[in-house]
Copies of this chain bind each other. A is one copy, B any other.
Amino acid sequence: MQSAGELLLCHGYDRFSVDEVAVRAGVAKTTLYRRWPTKDHLVVAVVARMQDEVPVAYRNDVRADLTRYLNAIVDGLHRMRLAGRPSASGDTSAGVVAEVAAAAARHADIGAAVHAMFLRRNALVLRMLEQARDAGELEKGVDPEVVFDQLAGALYYRLLITGAPIDAAYVDRLVASVLRGASG
């Protein structure tokens, strides 16, 4: 898995291959293909492992806790966006995130794996939001699932759809807007 992660971030999605991972890890190709039948299966496993490297914890300050977690997501998205890109190139290889989303839409089994990965991971954040609610930091009627969709969704929307920048300043604006609400 470590070899796979290094190759994915180094080469990007297009030039990533199960065969090369096998060479780098010094294992038989058949061993890898038995567990990950296609490149997409292996990419999803690599992304899941990257996600698991980021801790999710409620430390009694929901604004700081969300800000920390969203900045970690932004870091991960940037690493996957830049993966495989020749420096100073205009027309670049695809971002890994966009390719994973396309593969998830294209193949039902990849879609199921991607959805399960995010369901498992996001459950940790929902638990954090529930703890903040129980501690009185969030309002009683808060909808944790929707609140997290607003936060993570805004980041992915800018990355995949509008191309607008996502950085620490944007994360601050986003967390402030979600916590405050828009109603006058």
Residues of A within 8 A of B (CB): 81, 90-95, 97-99, 101-102, 104-109, 111, 114-115, 118-119, 122, 133, 136-143, 146-147, 149-158, 160-164, 170, 173-174, 176-184
Report yes or no: A182 in contact with B183, Cβ–Cβ below 8 A.
Answer: no
A56: min CB distance to chain B, Å: 16
User: In the complex, what's the smallest C-beta–C-beta distance from A113 to chain B, in angstroms?
Assistant: 11
Q: A114-B161, A153-B155 given; name 10 further pairs at CB < 8 Å.
A: A98-B104, A99-B102, A101-B102, A104-B160, A104-B161, A137-B184, A142-B177, A149-B153, A153-B153, A153-B158
Task: Enumerate chain B residues within 8 angstroms of A180, measured Cβ to Cβ.
Answer: 139, 141, 181, 183
Residues A138 and B105 in contact, CB atoms below 8 Å apart: no
| A75 → chain B closest CB, angstroms | 17
Q: A107-B91, A155-B153 are in contact. Are A138 and B98 (CB under 8 A)?
A: no
CB-nearest residue of chain B to A158: B149
Contacts of A109 in B (CB 8 A): 91
